[in-house]
C-alpha cells in the first residue's frame, strides 16, 4: 500500500513540469486565441473591447482573406495528389529493385531535411526569367518558350507547389516503402498462383492493403499544405504573397494581419478558421481509418 502511494506521488512529481508546460504554453494560448478573436484588440491600444463575431464577419468580407483561403485550397488540391501519386509510384519502383535501394531513398529525402528557407531561395533563383533562370535557359535550349513562373499570377502558385512536392516526396516515399515492405509476401504469391497479372496485383492487393498509409499521408500532406508559409514568404517579392496576392496562403494572411497591421483580433479569427479546417480533416481521417479496420 505504501509503495503504491509512493508511486502515485512520483508519477505526479514527474508530470509536474510537463503538465504546467502544456497548460501554459499550449492550452492557455489556445483559449486566449479564441478570446482575442472576439475582441477588437490591436497590440498598440491598451483596451480590448468584446466585439462578438464581428471579426469573423470582417474577414469574410475582406477580399484578400477570401483570395488567400482560395489559394490555400489550391495549394491542397494541386499539391496533395501530386505528392501522393508521385511518391507512391516512386516507392513501387523502389520496391522492385534490390541493390542501392537505401541510396536512392537517401537521395530522395535530402530536400526534406534541408532548411526550407534555403531551398526556397534556390528555387526562386532557378525560376528567374531569362537570361538568368536556369530552368528557363534549359527550356530555351530545348527550343521551348520561356515561362514566367513566379512572376505570373497564374504560374506562381503552381511553381511553389512544384517546389513543395520536390521537398515532400522523399518523406512520403520512405513511409510508403515501409508500408509496402510490411505487406506479407504470401498474399502476393497466392494471388500470383491464382494467375493475377501485375496490374491486378497492384490495384487489387497492394493499393488496398496500403490504404491506411495512403489516408495517413494524404492527411499529413493536406495539413502541411494548409499551413504553407515559409516557401511563399521566401519565394514571393518581399514576402508579399504576390504577384497581386496570387500566391498568398492563409498563414501569410494571418502573419501580415498580426505582425504588419497588428490587427490581432482579425488575425486570430483567421487562425480559428484554420484550426477548424484542420480539425475537420483530422476527424474525417479518424472516421475513415476506423472504418477501414472493420474490413
In whole angstroms, what separates CA 268 from the centre of its chain? Answer: 20
- Among 19, 57, 85, 284, which residue interacts with another protein (rule: CB under 8 A)? 19
- In the complex, the smallest distance separating the C-beta of residue 245 from another protein, rounded to whole angstroms, is 9
Q: How far is the CB of 212 from another protein (least distance, A)?
A: 6
Contact 41/265 with Cβ under 8 angstroms? yes
Q: How far is the CB of 118 from another protein (least distance, A)?
A: 4
Q: How many residues bind another protein (CB under 8 A)?
A: 107
Q: How crowded is residue 180: how many other Cβ atoms within 10 Å of its Cβ?
A: 17
CA atoms of 172 and 109, how far apart (whole Å): 9
What span, in angstroms and rounded, lies between the C-alpha atoms of 58 and 144? 46
Minimum separation from the CB atom of position 186 to another protein (A): 19
Cα 240 → chain centroid = 20
Three-state DSSP at 115 gives coil
Q: How far is the CB of 61 from another protein (least distance, A)?
A: 14
> 235 CB contacts (<8 Å, ≥6 apart)?
120, 121, 123, 124, 127, 150, 159, 160, 163, 247
Task: Considering only CA atoms, give the Rg of the chain.
Answer: 24
Indicate the residue among 33 and 209 with the shorter CB distance to another protein.
33
CB closer to another protein, 27 vs 50: 27
Task: Report the nearest approach of another protein to the CB of residue 165 (Å).
Answer: 11
Q: Is residue 118 close enough to count as binding another protein by CB under 8 A?
A: yes
Segment near another protein (CB under 8 A); pick from 16-24, 64-72, 75-83, 200-208:
16-24
Distance of closest approach, residue 64 Cβ to another protein, in angstroms: 11
Residues 27-56, one symbol each (x = binds another protein by CB under 8 A, - = not), give xxxx-xx--x------xx------------
CB-nearer residue toward another protein: 109 or 207: 109
| Of the candidate residues 72, 82, 136, 236, the single one contacting another protein (CB under 8 A) | 136
Site for another protein in 137-156 (CB under 8 A): 137, 140, 145-146, 151-153
Dist. CA 177–CA 94, nearest whole Å? 8
Q: Report how far Cα 191 is from the mean position of its chain's Cα atoms.
A: 36
By CB under 8 A, the residues from 226 to 245 that bind another protein are 227, 229-230, 233-234, 237-239, 242-244
65-84 residues near another protein, rule: CB under 8 A: none
Q: Which of residues 184-223 bind another protein (CB under 8 A)?
A: 212-213, 215-217, 223
Scanning residues 236 to 295, which ones bind another protein (CB under 8 A)? 237-239, 242-244, 251, 254-255, 258-260, 262, 264, 267-268, 271-272, 274-275, 278-279, 282, 289
> At its nearest, how many Å lie between another protein and the CB of residue 281?
10
Q: What are phi and psi of 36, to 5 degrees?
A: -60, -35
Residue 82's contacts (CB-CB under 8 Å, 6 or more residues apart) are 161, 165
Q: Where are the alpha helices (H) located in 114-155, listed in sequence order?
A: 116-126, 134-141
Are the C-beta atoms of residues 95 and 102 closer than 8 Å to each other? no
Residue 50 has what DSSP assignment? Answer: B
Q: Which of residues 84-113 bind another protein (CB under 8 A)?
A: 90, 93-94, 96-97, 104-111, 113
What does each C-alpha distance from 150 to 159, 160, 235 come to in angstroms?
7, 8, 8
Amino acid at each position: 500500500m505504501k509503495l503504491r502511494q509512493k508511486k502515485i506521488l512520483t508519477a505526479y512529481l514527474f508530470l509536474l513540469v510537463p503538465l504546467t508546460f502544456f497548460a501554459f504554453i499550449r492550452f492557455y494560448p489556445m483559449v486566449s486565441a479564441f478570446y482575442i478573436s472576439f475582441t477588437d484588440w490591436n497590440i498598440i491600444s491598451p483596451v480590448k473591447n468584446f466585439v462578438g463575431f464581428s471579426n469573423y464577419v470582417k474577414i469574410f468580407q475582406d477580399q484578400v482573406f477570401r483570395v488567400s483561403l482560395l489559394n490555400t485550397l489550391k495549394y491542397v488540391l494541386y499539391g496533395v495528389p501530386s505528392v501522393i501519386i508521385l511518391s507512391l509510384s516512386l516507392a513501387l519502383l523502389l520496391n522492385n529493385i534490390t541493390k542501392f535501394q537505401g541510396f536512392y531513398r537517401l537521395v530522395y529525402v535530402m530536400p526534406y531535411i534541408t532548411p526550407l528557407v534555403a531551398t526556397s531561395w534556390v528555387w526562386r533563383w532557378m525560376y528567374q526569367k531569362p537570361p538568368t533562370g536556369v530552368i528557363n535557359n534549359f527550356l530555351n535550349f530545348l527550343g521551348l518558350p520561356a515561362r514566367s513562373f513566379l512572376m505570373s499570377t497564374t504560374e506562381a502558385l503552381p511553381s511553389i507547389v512544384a517546389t513543395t512536392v520536390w521537398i515532400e516526396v522523399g518523406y512520403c516515399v520512405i513511409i510508403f516503402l515501409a508500408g509496402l515492405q510490411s505487406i506479407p509476401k504470401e498474399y502476393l504469391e497466392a494471388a500470383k498462383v491464382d494467375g493475377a497479372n501485375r496490374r491486378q496485383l497492384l490495384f487489387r492487393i497492394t493499393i488496398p492493403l496500403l490504404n491506411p498509409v495512403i489516408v495517413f499521408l494524404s492527411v499529413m500532406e493536406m495539413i502541411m499544405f494548409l499551413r504553407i508559409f515559409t516557401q511563399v514568404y521566401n519565394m514571393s517579392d518581399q514576402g508579399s504573397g504576390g504577384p497581386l496576392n496570387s500566391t498568398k496562403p492563409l498563414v501569410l494572411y494571418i502573419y501580415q494581419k498580426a505582425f504588419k497591421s497588428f490587427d490581432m483580433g482579425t488575425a486570430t479569427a483567421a487562425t480559428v478558421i484554420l484550426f477548424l479546417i484542420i480539425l475537420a480533416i483530422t476527424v474525417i481521417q479518424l472516421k475513415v481509418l476506423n472504418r477501414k479496420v472493420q474490413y
